[in-house]
DNA sequence: CGAGGGGTTGACGCCGATCAAAGCTGGTGG
DNA sequence: CCACCAGCTTTGATCGGCGTCAACCCCTCG
């Protein structure tokens, strides 16, 4: 457990050990919140707990791995890569979200590439384990349905907020999302790099840079420390409304 | 049943009568495909069958109706309207799809406005009926999960294909989608009006018109009869690749 | 100290939004 | 049956926003 504070910069995930779901302190957030603690005693395959450094690939689109992941900490981006090399980020997920759920609905392989944005802490759940639990506890189905519905809502929001309107408005919407869903105790959030932001809203890197720089000059966006930022949500909403 | 061929132009739905799920000839496509025929004998509330003329509103975002709908025939658009009056279409659904599923996952109201694009034929399922069946037949859960996953995949495709790249490429992608998912026996599909297409890909009506007109001149898109069209998929894919 | 990667800024040209006007088409009523 | 109208589509002209290329800055790391 002393490893928890380490963060080596390598592309391999760090194995933190077996997950102890029955005494997981964030289980109510998580995928298995419906289950009794006793459910985990008879699992055929273990659920493991890993830590991934920023930028590491959790899984690749099309690969046929057999794991679902539950995010405990950090941000994960789901990326769609076109054969021509350009890529578009279709979702940004944080603690409590589960990824790779398409495997449960019969997909032969992952539909996206999943990449850690910052340091990510997650539980790796064998597909067969979920299926086993699903048979024993039908209530787990509701949890899966809820996860899917939440991701569907996020995808719709992505279309409406991040893929519509002028570049300035999209950047403003993105900042509001970071502020709302990814801010910590002191209401500050990590400002993603320009490339990621560009891939989220579908504009050029330079355009994002210009908008962010302008927001900084206007004091609508300001640094707290390191790359933690705060924003003036009211001003951003005004920009989204009035253009 | 003689009413089936009628199509009065009014905003009210035409009631066709009780659905007979146990002998529905497209049930394997539908929401209740997992259930035995006997499941429908003890329903507390009826499942009704309606026909809606083009343009009629099936339900409005935010309203708290208590029905889920299964599409039997026709196309339905899910629309997000901004307070400023502009709107964006986030999904286009056809036979076999179910809409209003967010009610099952605890949403207090519909997340979108649903509007019939052409003549739509659907089953109106009371929320309580689905919940009742879900208790009796946990397998229904899988079906719901599958529906949600399919819609999530559609939403992701919407982001990647219809909200990314130049206007010409987006229109090409849209035509490919219409060709793939909404074409009938003779491989022809209904060409949506320019306003709807514009709301799908997030560009101006005039721009869509220019692109469509250009495709017609290039013989990549050609009318079969009325407003049924065919397209040259290979040429469209080339445009998407090369710009 | 130099190299390299990410961020910022400038210059320029093109795509697409906007406004305006002119076809087209189906429906209505005389 | 034809004239007319309303709504949709097409096309043109113009202008601004944004993509592209390039230079430069700043910070980190070797």
Q: How far apart are CA A92 and CA A239, in angstroms?
A: 23
Same domain, B81 and B10: yes
Q: Which CATH number fits the domain that encloses residue A200? A: 1.10.10.10
Do the domain assignments include residue A16?
Answer: yes
Do the domain assignments include residue B189?
Answer: yes
- A contacts of B164 (beta carbons < 8 Å): 88, 163, 202
Same domain, B109 and B49: yes
Q: How far apart are CA A11 and CA A54, in angstroms?
A: 9
- B168-218 pLDDT, tens digit each: 999 999 999 999 999 987 889 999 999 999 999 999 999 999 999 999 999
Same domain, A30 and A137: yes
Out of A88, A138, A160, closest to residue B88 by CB: A160
**Single residue among A91, A119, A151 that ends a domain in this structure:** A151
Enter the tokens of residue A192: 């993603």
Do the domain assignments include residue A60?
Answer: yes
Do the domain assignments include residue B152?
Answer: no
Do the domain assignments include residue A57?
Answer: yes
The secondary structure element, H or E, covering residue A77 is strand A76-81
**Single residue among A105, A128, A151 that ends a domain in this structure:** A151
Do the domain assignments include residue A156?
Answer: no
Query: Checking DSSP bridges between strand B228-231 and strand B221-225, what pairing results, if any?
Result: antiparallel
Same domain, A216 and A105: no
Cβ of B216 less than 7 A from strand D: yes
Same domain, B82 and B176: no
Would you state the pLDDT for residue B12? 63
- B contacts of A146 (beta carbons < 8 Å): 105-106
Q: How far apart are CA A71 and CA A52, in angstroms?
A: 11
User: By the CB < 8 Å criterion, does A101 face chain B?
Assistant: yes
Residues 145-174 of A with CB under 8 A from B: 145-146, 148-149, 151-153, 155-156, 158-160, 163-164
B92 closest CA partner among B234, B233, B209, B200: B200
Same domain, B119 and B227: no
**Single residue among B108, B139, B170 that ends a domain in this structure:** B139
Same domain, B110 and B221: no
A156 closest CA partner among B91, B31, B126: B91
Residue A210's nearest nucleotide, by CA–C1', is C8
Q: Domain range spanning residue B111? A: 2-139
Domain count, chain B: 2
Same domain, B9 and B105: yes
Residues 36-65 of A with CB under 8 A from B: none
Same domain, A123 and A203: no
Same domain, B32 and B94: yes
Straight-line distance from CA A202 to C1' D21, in Å? Answer: 19
Same domain, B14 and B133: yes
Cβ of A214 less than 7 A from strand D: no
Are A100 and A130 in contact, with CB atoms under 8 Å apart? no
User: By the CB < 8 Å criterion, does B242 face chain A?
Assistant: no
- A contacts of B140 (beta carbons < 8 Å): none
Task: Report CA-CA distances (Å) from B108 to A79, B65, B84, B204, B217.
Answer: 31, 9, 23, 33, 48
Q: How far apart are CA B224 and CA B203, in angstroms?
A: 27
Helical spans, DSSP H, in chain A: 127-136, 139-157, 167-181, 194-201, 205-217, 233-242
pLDDT per residue of chain A (243 residues) written in tens, 0 to 9 = 333 333 444 456 788 878 888 888 888 778 888 888 888 888 889 899 999 999 999 999 999 889 999 999 999 999 999 888 789 999 999 999 999 999 999 899 999 999 999 999 999 999 999 999 998 888 899 999 999 999 999 999 999 999 999 999 999 999 999 999 999 888 899 999 999 999 999 999 999 999 999 999 999 999 998 889 999 999 999 999 988
Cβ of A206 less than 7 A from strand D: yes
**Which chain B residues 143-182 have CB under 7 A to strand C?**
166-168
The band of B14, judged by pLDDT with boundaries at 50, 70 and 90, is confident
Q: Which CATH number fits the domain that encloses residue B84? A: 2.60.120.10
Would you state the pLDDT for residue B11? 53
| Strand C nucleotides in reach of protein CB atoms, 7 A cut-off | 6-11, 15-20
Out of B84, B105, B156, closest to residue A90 by CB: B156
Do the domain assignments include residue A87?
Answer: yes
Same domain, A14 and A122: yes
Would you state the pLDDT for residue B218? 95
Question: Is the whole model's pTM more than 0.95, yes or no?
Answer: no
Do the domain assignments include residue B190?
Answer: yes
């Amino acid at each position: 457990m002393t490893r928890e504070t380490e963060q080596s910069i390598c592309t391999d995930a760090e194995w933190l050990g077996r997950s102890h779901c029955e005494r997981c302190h964030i289980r109510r957030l998580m995928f298995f919140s419906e289950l009794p603690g006793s459910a985990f005693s008879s699992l055929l395959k273990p659920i493991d707990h890993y830590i991934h450094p920023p930028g590491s690939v959790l899984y690749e689109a099309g690969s046929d791995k057999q794991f679902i992941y539950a995010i405990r900490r950090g941000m994960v981006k789901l990326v769609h890569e076109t054969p021509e090399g350009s890529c578009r980020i279709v979702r940004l997920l944080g603690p409590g979200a589960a990824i790779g759920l398409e495997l449960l609905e019969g997909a032969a392989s992952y539909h996206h590439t999943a990449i850690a944005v910052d340091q990510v802490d997650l539980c790796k759940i064998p597909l067969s384990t979920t299926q086993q639990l699903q048979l024993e506890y039908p209530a787990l189905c509701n949890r899966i349905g809820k996860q899917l519905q939440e991701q569907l809502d996020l995808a719709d929001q992505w279309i409406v907020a991040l893929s519509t309107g002028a570049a300035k408005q999209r950047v403003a919407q993105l900042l509001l999302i970071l502020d709302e869903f990814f801010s910590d105790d002191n209401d500050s959030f990590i400002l993603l790099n320009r490339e990621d932001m560009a891939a989220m809203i579908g504009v050029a890197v330079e355009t994002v840079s210009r908008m962010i720089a302008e927001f900084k000059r206007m004091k609508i966006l300001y640094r707290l420390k390191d790359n933690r930022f705060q924003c003036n949500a009211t001003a951003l909403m005004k920009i989204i409304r009035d253009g």
